[in-house]
Chain A
């Protein structure tokens, strides 16, 4: 189920906060919608992200989808495991399938994201 300790964007990315650093990936719902992930393109460390702007792309066997930055900030770290094992996004989206770590520029952007319950309600309406 959707982890309670993270917050969620309408474009199906999650942010898990640890101090002022947010770990970002895509939700379990999103990975199921995409199907088998074969390639993830992510921003380099040092990149300044702006909330709601495209930050990369994710290729499944059947299609490509854009990744959007759920919050603004500087990219500190990229999950190198995904280079050789993009399927981690499918098998462990909230764990080893994380994508980037970002130092948030504006913590209020995090507060504005949906909590787990709101996100579950949101995907209910979106999938019907």
Chain B
């Protein structure tokens, strides 16, 4: 199994380690509910070093990213980050990614761990006829996510930049306890917080330093999943993949049809005009039970959709989930049946996100 640079420290801190797509990572330390609550009310720290980093540099860097994604990368300025979809010509997701603009011809792309090689190959392939250099930089970065309402106050004494000047989805270069870092006000929890990209060799020391403030709880993948699901942030491999389009996934806000040509644009134009045939919706359970990833949605014995994510929401204290439903059955309030271990169990479409932080 692959290990992040924080692996030894995670064992030392009592992390319960699991195999996550070939990476040995902690699913929890003290417990998912406790870690979840720490992030919602105070601060939690995640090792997300398994995420991949790809740099795109050169005169055609913007052209490459515009061609291969659905959001408008030309809208980025230096110091800003953008959530985007890397698409196939079918408009299915290669991956969902974050693009940081370091300079006019210099971009830093953060990708999902399991997709790192695939994304790199796809970008390199599209770039073949262009004047641009695509490099896989994953092994050169550790990534820590400090998330929660207290994140700024806790991190500020350790850094040499004014964190209050970094707005949501912006970043700066600076130092964390003397270590060069990309400091980004982003996250995957629906809470305020920062993501730090630093050298792997310094990551244990920084992680430990943050924990030793006594104000930060180490958190695992379990809480990361419940937090992101409450905020309705998509998980590649669960909610989106190569068979789903951004419009089906209810990610219309990252589809910019007027930005010029890109892979999948014709498919998305048609879906935009006619409506996608299915849509990713949030749901709650009406009957008792938890509908989880892969459970079928049925109607009169026929399978009409599928649950892509489902868990017990620690904040709402009830089961929630995401499912693909036919467009005509996707309006909030619509009831449907999920097959939970052979039993038809009632669920209801609800507005999302399930949780929104108070600004």
With both beta carbons as reference points, the residue of chain B lying nearest to A62 in the complex is identified as B222
Question: Looking at the complex, which one of B28, B289, B314 makes contact with A39 (CB distance below 8 Å)?
Answer: B289
**In the complex, how many angstroms separate the beta carbon of A83 from the nearest chain B beta carbon?**
9
Question: Looking at the complex, which one of A39, A59, A61, A64 makes contact with B32 (CB distance below 8 Å)?
Answer: A61
Assess whether B288 is in contact with A62, with CB atoms less than 8 Å apart.
no
With both beta carbons as reference points, the residue of chain B lying nearest to A66 in the complex is identified as B341
Assess whether B288 is in contact with A61, with CB atoms less than 8 Å apart.
no
Q: Which of the listed residues A38, A39, A64 has the most CB atoms from chain B within 10 Å of its own CB?
A: A38
| 0/1 string, A39-74, CB within 8 A of B gives 1 | 101000000000000000101111110000000000
Assess whether A62 is in contact with B32, with CB atoms less than 8 Å apart.
yes
Assess whether A39 is in contact with B288, with CB atoms less than 8 Å apart.
yes
With both beta carbons as reference points, the residue of chain B lying nearest to A33 in the complex is identified as B16
Excluding A39-B312, A61-B312, 12 further A-B contacts by CB distance (< 8 Å) are A35-B28, A35-B32, A36-B31, A39-B290, A41-B288, A59-B289, A59-B290, A59-B312, A60-B32, A61-B32, A61-B311, A62-B28
What CA separation (Å) do A38 and B285 show in the bound complex?
A: 14
Q: Is B33 an interface residue (CB 8 A)?
A: yes
| 0/1 string, B296-327, CB within 8 A of A gives 1 | 00000000000000011010000100000000
Can you sample 11 A-B contacts with CB below 8 Å? A39-B289, A39-B319, A41-B288, A59-B289, A61-B32, A61-B311, A61-B314, A62-B311, A63-B292, A64-B290, A64-B341
Known: A61-B222, A64-B290. A38 touches B312 (CB 8 A): yes
The 6 closest A-B pairs by CB, nearest first: A38-B312, A61-B32, A36-B33, A62-B222, A59-B290, A61-B312
Assess whether B288 is in contact with A36, with CB atoms less than 8 Å apart.
no
With both beta carbons as reference points, the residue of chain A lying nearest to B341 in the complex is identified as A57
Task: Bin the interface of chain B by size.
Answer: 10 to 19
8 Å CB contacts to A: which residues of B1-40? 16, 27-28, 31-33
**In the complex, what residues of B have CB within 8 A of residue A35's CB?**
16, 27-28, 31-32, 222
With both beta carbons as reference points, the residue of chain B lying nearest to A87 in the complex is identified as B33
Task: Bin the interface of chain A by size.
Answer: 10 to 19
**In the complex, what residues of A have CB within 8 A of residue B27's CB?**
35, 62
What CA separation (Å) do A38 and B27 show in the bound complex?
A: 17
What CA separation (Å) do A117 and B226 show in the bound complex?
A: 37
With both beta carbons as reference points, the residue of chain A lying nearest to B34 in the complex is identified as A36
**In the complex, how many angstroms separate the beta carbon of B291 from the nearest chain A beta carbon?**
10
With both beta carbons as reference points, the residue of chain B lying nearest to A86 in the complex is identified as B312
**In the complex, how many angstroms separate the beta carbon of B213 from the nearest chain A beta carbon?**
25
**In the complex, how many angstroms separate the beta carbon of B222 from the nearest chain A beta carbon?**
5
Assess whether A36 is in contact with B32, with CB atoms less than 8 Å apart.
yes
Assess whether A64 is in contact with B311, with CB atoms less than 8 Å apart.
no
**In the complex, what residues of B have CB within 8 A of residue A62's CB?**
27-28, 32, 222, 225, 311
**In the complex, how many angstroms separate the beta carbon of A29 from the nearest chain B beta carbon?**
13
**In the complex, what residues of A have CB within 8 A of residue B319's CB?**
39
What CA separation (Å) do A110 and B32 show in the bound complex?
A: 35
8 Å CB contacts to A: which residues of B24-62? 27-28, 31-33
What CA separation (Å) do A59 and B295 show in the bound complex?
A: 15
8 Å CB contacts to B: which residues of A51-108? 57, 59-64
Known: A35-B28, A39-B289. A61 touches B33 (CB 8 A): yes
**In the complex, what residues of B have CB within 8 A of residue A63's CB?**
292
What CA separation (Å) do A61 and B27 show in the bound complex?
A: 11
Q: Which of the listed residues A59, A62, A63, A64 has the most CB atoms from chain B within 10 Å of its own CB?
A: A62
What CA separation (Å) do A96 and B341 show in the bound complex?
A: 27
With both beta carbons as reference points, the residue of chain A lying nearest to B312 in the complex is identified as A38
What CA separation (Å) do A60 and B226 show in the bound complex?
A: 12
Q: Which of the listed residues B32, B290, B314 has the most CB atoms from chain A within 10 Å of its own CB?
A: B290
**In the complex, how many angstroms separate the beta carbon of B286 from the nearest chain A beta carbon?**
15
**In the complex, what residues of B have CB within 8 A of residue A59's CB?**
289-290, 312
Assess whether B292 is in contact with A64, with CB atoms less than 8 Å apart.
yes
With both beta carbons as reference points, the residue of chain B lying nearest to A61 in the complex is identified as B32
What CA separation (Å) do A38 and B315 show in the bound complex?
A: 13
With both beta carbons as reference points, the residue of chain A lying nearest to B225 in the complex is identified as A62
**In the complex, how many angstroms separate the beta carbon of B40 from the nearest chain A beta carbon?**
14
**In the complex, what residues of B have CB within 8 A of residue A41's CB?**
288-289
